[in-house]
Homo-oligomer: A and B are copies of this chain.
């Protein structure tokens, strides 16, 4: 790496301070049993020489690397962005750094990849919404490598995880639409290989049933959480012989697609059709009209997962913890009672 010539090491500091290198190490790591004046002398020498610890060496020798890994499939979405923000905040106070692994890029066998991670620089791993968690989790568990899942319930009860109350959120949003008077409510699903997408669909169905509305498969369009799927899904729903008076999309981004489709059909939100999203990403408040959506506490999820992970790193034998954070319906201006509705309740 040839990191310049002025690599001042623990040994340089030691001779500058007139002590052994172990003592310097003790000072760095705030170990006890160092005489105050010695500590002081070492500290002085360190600043005088501009010493800074080499994480690689430290980690190799058995310490912590002070780095945690974050495994995501795509950076750059505001969904991930919000989560990272929470992680970062929590990491900052623990003096940890963050290494980013994106899954979409590797060709290697997933489990082999995870093995690399565990040998790598990270002390622990955060996984956001992994596509095929099986491959990862098994390896991680086998290596006893600290890890926490975000926005995913994992394979079984033995996986530490932080998720949102997806089912409940979808239930409440659907209930809200029903109570506004909607009877035909379209639903755009997320990527159905993901548990959260399944949960949201379930919540939607449950609310219908609980309110005496028959579930109509015709009103459900299988999407994938991306905007185009919201667009095509809504287009299909709007062209039904009996179109819905409201559409509930499984995330905000696909709700934006729905809004686009509605506009192209020369209909207005919320006068002609109500729209609800899920996530409450920042721009949900800033589209027109502002989107009513189910708020997922993304930043907090990142925060809590990080806190859990740091605890596992400190003590790998802590019991498995699984957190489900509440979701909250954020009512904005994209919903109103359907046109045909004659009031009452």
Residues from chain B with a CB closer than 8 A to the CB of A31 are none
Contact A59 B145 (CB under 8 A): no
Q: How far is the CA of A77 from the CA of B286 in the complex (A)?
A: 14
Give the complex CA separation of A57 and B278 in angstroms.
Answer: 45
Q: Please give, as numbers and ranges, the residues of chain B lying within 8 Å of A53 by CB-CB distance.
A: 116, 119
Which of A65, A102, A121 is the most central at the interface, judged by chain B CB atoms within 10 Å of its CB? A121
Complex Cα–Cα for A115 and B121 (A): 19
* A206 smallest CB distance to B (angstroms): 31
B-contacting 9-mer, from A81-89, A180-188, A196-204: A81-89
Residue A50 at the B interface, CB < 8 A?
Answer: yes
Residues of B contacting A286 in the complex (Cβ-Cβ under 8 angstroms): 227, 256, 259-260, 283, 287
**C-alpha spacing A2/B123, complex, angstroms:** 10
Contacts of A92 in B (CB 8 A): 102, 105-106
Copies of this chain, how many? 2
User: A56-81: contact bitstring with B at CB < 8 Å (1 yes, 0 no)?
Assistant: 11011011110100000011111011
Which of A7, A89, A288 neighbours the largest number of chain B CB atoms within 10 Å of its CB? A288
Confirm or deny: A216 has a beta carbon within 8 angstroms of a beta carbon on chain B: no
**0/1 string, A191-226, CB within 8 A of B gives 1:** 000000000000000000000000000000000000
Shortest distance from the beta carbon of A98 to any chain B beta carbon, whole Å: 5
Say which residue of B52, B121, B145, B287 sits within 8 Å of A55 (CB atoms): B121
- Beta-carbon nearest neighbor of A78 in chain B: B78
A216-250 vs B: 1/0 string, CB under 8 Å? 00000000000100000000000000000000000
Judge if A332 is at the interface, Cβ distance under 8 Å. no
| Chain B, residue nearest A269 (CB) | B288
Partner of A105, one of B65, B80, B88: B88
In the bound complex, how far is the Cα of B60 from the Cα of A60, in angstroms? 9
A-B contact pairs, 27 of them (CB 8 A): A1-B62, A2-B316, A3-B118, A4-B142, A4-B143, A4-B145, A6-B143, A50-B112, A52-B115, A52-B116, A54-B60, A55-B119, A56-B59, A67-B121, A75-B88, A76-B81, A76-B82, A78-B78, A78-B81, A97-B100, A98-B99, A99-B99, A256-B283, A256-B286, A283-B283, A283-B287, A287-B287
* Given contact pairs A1-B64, A52-B115, A77-B81, a sample of 15 additional A-B residue pairs in the complex whose CB atoms are under 8 Å apart: A1-B123, A4-B144, A54-B119, A54-B120, A55-B121, A56-B121, A60-B60, A75-B81, A76-B78, A76-B81, A76-B82, A81-B81, A88-B102, A121-B121, A260-B286
